Chain A
């Protein structure tokens, strides 16, 4: 045993217990679609239909992104397959006033918030304008892993300073929890009791590095306690559980209860990105095992039991999703090419003297 075993305990055991912390796990709907109705968030049939339809849309977006990449129509892309419950369940639990700080693997979150899909496709095609949609309280996706964590703590702190009853939320991975940024962000949020929700999607892998190599602790959730906040692990493939926990954490934040760390226990079913080949480092058996637990199957089973799902319903919704995605791809591809002058224009609010010369020199001036 490394790290976790008792064998390494110091012999001078303390006489007084200062604090005990417990880390719990929440599941509402299990893999067979059976539920614990006492834990069920009160969203009803309409809520579940929204979950299901948004998941289909996100899945369709993702599926097409992967094929566009294969055809060379967009660049490297990070798939969300397997993580839809964690992404959509959480995104729908926030209000539109809350601010979100996504990593690069959050297409599902953005799609759920109604961010224009065609702009996302532009972004993944290597066009910065795809991150410039006005009116969304969503920061541009962060590519350097974990670096967005303190941003959310800061935004949440600002909400508190200004007396706004809102929350900020940040998405990051199991790998991201190893960065100093994660620890410093949580620490600040704890100290300043900032209305922040820290959402870790533990998808078991950081490219080829397994979760066990990120921390010797049993969970990522328990790290919240060291920063003075509650941490909870939730079944990240169970959209009802994710929604419930995130909704409560956001409400707690908005009402002055401080930050929460939520670990969504899930799995990355695809390669890390389209530039990766996961068969180099993980087994098919592992992937197959998780495929059986993927979030859409479970949601479908539950809704079927409730009489809210039929094959026809799914087919009709899948068709709608596909059509919406197709229309957005068309729009993305018909969009104007970016202007090279944009490279320079957005460096500062105003052009520097040097930049004015460069615009001419490079032939981009107007």
Chain B
């Protein structure tokens, strides 16, 4: 057991899975000698050599598209896309192929591959380095979407993602990479995909969040009796845990960094309306970014849901 940050925890998960399974390889831009722009793959080139930790040409479509072929043939590619905004170049490969091969071939072929990518506001970068587009990916049947919130679940979830028989998009909050440390067991362990974690038990408000916003939602909850659910996997998500909690609390607040319109909060809210309507004591509230493009550094703090906005939402459901 050691205190690790998320960068170190993911690095450890990669190293241990690579040791265990010779088919696991890392591909991407700057992942080898540079160790990734966030240093997540640092040291892996030295450990596993240039046949398994591979700098590719600068082409996200090529990276994801070849990962489909690599995976179909029996390798287990873990592709790093440098920032979430650059996955867009590879969408056709993800949406038209990776997520559909199993269905298209009625099970004859599959794509057990992982696409890792940093997401969200966090590093005051140029444009397109702060995207939170989980809902876009969660909408595609056949693709799994995982978002860890701390070093412990980052390691366990990544191990599951690598071993998963289907393609997984693994989103890492750039803001959290080095900002939290927690105990991470040295040995390999896995956390099942599709299961939420009850981050904090409570009885009056069910709060659903993931990644960066989980922490903000928790910090804002001091004066409230919140049950905070860390979704961990966005697709497929743990409907049972959410519905059961709402049945207990009668109130739901969903918090996410992405714009509200068609954000994943809409899915959570709709599910609760369908399955726990009779238990609701207040309308569901979503706290999210506005219906607009993520701004650059100067305005990004205004865009990201603030603690005050989250507190207001808690008050709103309590006072209804």
* Contact surface of A with B, Cβ cutoff 8 Å: 75-76, 104, 125-128, 143-147, 175-176, 178-181, 206-209, 213-215, 275-276, 280-281, 337-338, 340, 342-344, 347, 352, 354-355, 358, 362, 364
Q: Which residues of A contact B37 (CB under 8 A)?
A: 207, 275-276
Chain A: minimal CB distance from B45 (Å): 11
Q: Mark B294-314, 1 if CB is under 8 A from A, else 0.
A: 011111101100000000000
Indicate if the CB atoms of A178 and B57 lie closer than 8 Å.
yes
Q: Which residues of A contact B57 (CB under 8 A)?
A: 175, 178, 209, 213-215
Q: Which of B56, B88, B126 contacts A76 (CB 8 A)?
A: B126
Measured in the bound complex, the distance between the Cα atoms of B298 and A338 in whole Å is 7
The answer to whether the Cβ of B271 comes within 8 Å of any Cβ in the partner chain is no
The answer to whether the Cβ of B191 comes within 8 Å of any Cβ in the partner chain is no
Measured in the bound complex, the distance between the Cα atoms of B211 and A133 in whole Å is 37
Interface of B is mostly: loop
Indicate if the CB atoms of A362 and B290 lie closer than 8 Å.
yes
Indicate if the CB atoms of A208 and B128 lie closer than 8 Å.
no
Q: Which residues of A contact B303 (CB under 8 A)?
A: 343
- Considering only CB atoms and an 8 Å cut-off, how many residues of chain B contact the other chain? 39
Q: Which residues of B contact A75 (CB under 8 A)?
A: 124-126, 296-297
Q: Which of A144, A175, A338, A362 contacts B128 (CB 8 A)?
A: A144
Measured in the bound complex, the distance between the Cα atoms of B299 and A213 in whole Å is 37
Measured in the bound complex, the distance between the Cα atoms of B30 and A176 in whole Å is 14
Indicate if the CB atoms of B292 and A128 lie closer than 8 Å.
no
Indicate if the CB atoms of B302 and A126 lie closer than 8 Å.
no
Known contacts being A207-B29, A209-B29, is A352 close to B291, with CB within 8 Å?
Answer: yes
Q: Which of B30, B62, B292 contacts A209 (CB 8 A)?
A: B30
Q: Taking CB as reference atom, which chain B residue is nearest A364?
A: B302
Indicate if the CB atoms of B58 and A126 lie closer than 8 Å.
no
Q: A179-B89, A275-B37, A340-B302 are in contact. List 13 more A-B contacts (CB 8 A).
A: A75-B124, A126-B297, A127-B298, A176-B58, A178-B62, A179-B59, A209-B29, A209-B30, A275-B123, A343-B302, A355-B292, A358-B291, A362-B290
Q: List 8 A-B contacts (CB under 8 A).
A: A143-B85, A144-B86, A145-B58, A145-B86, A208-B55, A275-B125, A281-B33, A355-B292
Chain B: minimal CB distance from A290 (Å): 19
Interface of A is mostly: loop
Most buried by A among B261, B291, B300: B291
Q: Which of B29, B88, B290, B302 contacts A355 (CB 8 A)?
A: B290
Indicate if the CB atoms of A180 and B128 lie closer than 8 Å.
no
> Which residues 190-214 of B sit at the A interface, judged by CB distance below 8 A?
none
Q: Which of B34, B89, B128, B291 contacts A207 (CB 8 A)?
A: B34
Closest 8 CB pairs of A and B: A126-B297, A208-B34, A175-B58, A178-B57, A340-B302, A126-B296, A126-B298, A358-B290
Q: Which of A180, A281, A340, A362 contacts B89 (CB 8 A)?
A: A180
Indicate if the CB atoms of A208 and B89 lie closer than 8 Å.
no
Indicate if the CB atoms of A76 and B292 lie closer than 8 Å.
no
Indicate if the CB atoms of A206 and B29 lie closer than 8 Å.
yes
Indicate if the CB atoms of A208 and B85 lie closer than 8 Å.
no
Q: Taking CB as reference atom, which chain A residue is nearest B308?
A: A363
Known contacts being A75-B297, A354-B291, is A209 close to B261, with CB within 8 Å?
Answer: no
* Contact surface of B with A, Cβ cutoff 8 Å: 29-30, 32-35, 37, 55-59, 61-62, 85-86, 88-89, 123-129, 260-261, 290-293, 295-300, 302-303
Q: Which residues of B contact A181 (CB under 8 A)?
A: 89
Q: Which residues of A contact B127 (CB under 8 A)?
A: 143
Indicate if the CB atoms of A340 and B55 lie closer than 8 Å.
no
Known contacts being A104-B126, A127-B296, A208-B34, is A144 close to B85, with CB within 8 Å?
Answer: yes
Measured in the bound complex, the distance between the Cα atoms of B61 and A83 in whole Å is 28
Measured in the bound complex, the distance between the Cα atoms of B291 and A128 in whole Å is 17
Q: Which residues of A contact B58 (CB under 8 A)?
A: 145-146, 175-176, 178-179, 206, 209, 214
Measured in the bound complex, the distance between the Cα atoms of B56 and A337 in whole Å is 41
Measured in the bound complex, the distance between the Cα atoms of B302 and A342 in whole Å is 11
Most buried by A among B32, B56, B124, B290: B290
Q: Taking CB as reference atom, which chain A residue is nearest B297?
A: A126
Measured in the bound complex, the distance between the Cα atoms of B296 and A342 in whole Å is 11
Chain B: minimal CB distance from A363 (Å): 9
Q: Which residues of A contact B33 (CB under 8 A)?
A: 208, 280-281
Indicate if the CB atoms of B297 and A178 lie closer than 8 Å.
no
Q: Which residues of A contact B89 (CB under 8 A)?
A: 144, 147, 179-181
Known contacts being A208-B33, A208-B34, A281-B34, is A144 close to B296, with CB within 8 Å?
Answer: no
Measured in the bound complex, the distance between the Cα atoms of B127 and A104 in whole Å is 10
Q: Which residues of A contact B125 (CB under 8 A)?
A: 75-76, 275
Q: Taking CB as reference atom, which chain A residue is nearest B90?
A: A180
Measured in the bound complex, the distance between the Cα atoms of B297 and A143 in whole Å is 14
Q: Which of B35, B56, B293 contacts A347 (CB 8 A)?
A: B293
Indicate if the CB atoms of B261 and A354 lie closer than 8 Å.
yes
Chain A: minimal CB distance from B247 (Å): 29
Chain A: minimal CB distance from B131 (Å): 11
Q: Which residues of B contact A176 (CB under 8 A)?
A: 58
Q: Taking CB as reference atom, which chain B residue is nearest A104?
A: B126
Indicate if the CB atoms of B124 and A76 lie closer than 8 Å.
yes
Chain B: minimal CB distance from A351 (Å): 9
Chain A: minimal CB distance from B178 (Å): 14
Q: Which residues of B contact A343 (CB under 8 A)?
A: 290, 292-293, 295, 299, 302-303
Chain B: minimal CB distance from A198 (Å): 16
Q: Taking CB as reference atom, which chain A residue is nearest B125?
A: A76
Q: Which residues of A contact B296 (CB under 8 A)?
A: 75, 126-128
Q: Which residues of B contact A128 (CB under 8 A)?
A: 295-296
Measured in the bound complex, the distance between the Cα atoms of B88 and A340 in whole Å is 26
